[in-house]
Amino acid sequence: MTDISDTDISAQVLGWFREAWDPDLTLVEWRNRLVDSGWAAPSWSSDWFGRDLPAWADRVAHATIRDAGGVAVPLGAGYGLAAPTMYDHASNELKRKYLRRTLTGELAWCQLFSEPGAGSDLAGLTTTAVRDGDEWIVNGQKVWNTSADHADMGILVARTDWGAVKHAGLSYFVLDMHQDGVTARPIEQMNFRNSFNEVFLTDARIPHENMVGAEGAGWKVARGTLAHERSFATQRTVRFARGASGRVIDEARAEAAEYLKTYEWYPQRMGRVDLVTERAAAMGLTDDRVLRQEMVDLFSLQRASEWTAGRAKAGRALGRPPGSEGSIGKLALSEVARRAHRVHTRIAGARGLLKESDDPVDAVIAEVLVSTPAQSIAGGTDEIQHNIIGENVLGLPKEPAVDRGQPFRDVGKNTGRGSTT
């Protein structure tokens, strides 16, 4: 079905939706109907809730359903990361166990990848899973895990073979978070939010059937998740058509409001460039020549970065593989956030320290100033993007590595405590 257009898909979805929509259903009942129709994940195969359509069909189907006054799939790491990874790599048994309930939003997921000593160098992780009959027993610590304190399930990468070389000793699991061996502790951030957690795994148990992909293939599977993460990262808004109402809509609104609490500060993390002109005017600074120059630099960079993102999006819509725009765009967003931070500091002066203020905008600016550093860390730091551009785009020699070609147990490790073992 390669010649199908987005208008054809919209028309088909709309035809189905008009027959199927019942606002008095519960959200889960409605989403089960959606999953059964094949329009929850139309790019998936017809054996697994899909319609064998191209990747862009998912976006078109979901937008059509929302515009018509309905509800599509849930936001979050479940639909965005866990489901596509399982769809690509899991056994049929595992897909049967989890895919439907992930698409309906019954299961909330978190990503258990980073560790105190393994962030940029993710493949250096040391959380260990040891086989015990039909189960794996997991011990270690994860960190920076968004929403882990209220997740039902986690996607987890753990080391299953210390005798193998670094990347070959990892396996990928889905972990039930509701068990004694799993403790998620929220971390208080410097912007007073608690989006992240540290997760302690102490003899946590995972049935062998919950391994995704083959034993030792965890790195390949994790790279698949990270590729999905790059496209999913921008989906942090939920739209409801004007006038949409009914039980399904009420439950979906409540679900979205709960989910989005975690991300309330994310616009601040990007620098709130939209507030710059208004704040400069409010403070009587629009004639300040130095400030004007910095504002123009900021607006120009932001506009150029939007064009780069637009080019990347257009390429993907045409089915082109992700190119260097991804890393360049990510770097540009970090720079926009940094410059916005500087401009807001210049405008706000000491008022930028006012977290509690009579003026709610001051509080937003205060949050901008302590949130922008996250922009150049999340999803791969600036330095890592430089490395990717250097090696993959400019063809520079690879970084020297001292941890390849020998069993991981013999390699010096970052313990996350400022020393190596």
Ligand X SMILES: Cc1cc2nc3c(=O)[nH]c(=O)nc-3n(C[C@H](O)[C@H](O)[C@H](O)COP(=O)(O)OP(=O)(O)OC[C@H]3O[C@@H](n4cnc5c(N)ncnc54)[C@H](O)[C@@H]3O)c2cc1C
In the complex, which residues of this chain contact ligand X (CB under 6 A)? Answer: 111, 113-114, 119-120, 144-146, 374, 377-378, 380-381, 383-384, 387, 399
**Smallest distance, ligand X to C-beta of residue 89, A:** 18
Which residue number, 256 or 337, has a Cβ lying nearer to ligand X?
337
Query: What is the DSSP pairing of strand 109-112 with strand 153-159?
Result: parallel
Which residue number, 65 or 184, has a Cβ lying nearer to ligand X?
184
Which residue number, 39 or 113, has a Cβ lying nearer to ligand X?
113
C-alpha to C-alpha distances, 138 to 175, 176, 201, 267, nearest whole angstrom: 10, 12, 6, 36
| Phi, then psi, of 387 in degrees rounded to 5 | -60, -45
CA gap 215, 209 in Å, rounded: 11
**Smallest distance, ligand X to C-beta of residue 34, A:** 26
Cβ of 46: how many Cβ atoms within 10 Å? 11
Cβ of 57: how many Cβ atoms within 10 Å? 25
Cβ of 150: how many Cβ atoms within 10 Å? 14
**Smallest distance, ligand X to C-beta of residue 342, A:** 19
**Smallest distance, ligand X to C-beta of residue 11, A:** 38
Which residue number, 136 or 144, has a Cβ lying nearer to ligand X?
144
Which residue number, 51 or 142, has a Cβ lying nearer to ligand X?
142
**Smallest distance, ligand X to C-beta of residue 131, A:** 24
- For residue 77, give every residue at least 6 positions away whose Cβ sits within 8 Å of its Cβ, in sequence order, or none: 108, 109, 110, 111, 146, 147, 151, 155
- Find out whether 87 and 32 touch, Cβ atoms under 8 Å: no
Which residue number, 243 or 395, has a Cβ lying nearer to ligand X?
395
C-alpha to C-alpha distances, 117 to 92, 414, 417, nearest whole angstrom: 34, 5, 8
Residue nearest to ligand X (CB): 119
> Nearest 5 degrees, angle CA 318-CA 321-CA 325?
95
Token representation of residue 190 = 């410097």
Choose among 32, 58, 65: nearest CA to 43. 58
**Smallest distance, ligand X to C-beta of residue 334, A:** 11
**Smallest distance, ligand X to C-beta of residue 137, A:** 21
Which residue number, 42 or 380, has a Cβ lying nearer to ligand X?
380
Which residue number, 144 or 172, has a Cβ lying nearer to ligand X?
144
**Smallest distance, ligand X to C-beta of residue 384, A:** 6
- Find out whether 285 and 291 touch, Cβ atoms under 8 Å: yes
CB-based burial, 226-265: b 16+ in 10 Å, e otherwise: eebbbbbeeeeebeeeeebebebbebbbebbeebeebbeb
**Smallest distance, ligand X to C-beta of residue 411, A:** 15
- Find out whether 23 and 248 touch, Cβ atoms under 8 Å: yes
Which residue number, 111 or 305, has a Cβ lying nearer to ligand X?
111
- Find out whether 392 and 324 touch, Cβ atoms under 8 Å: yes
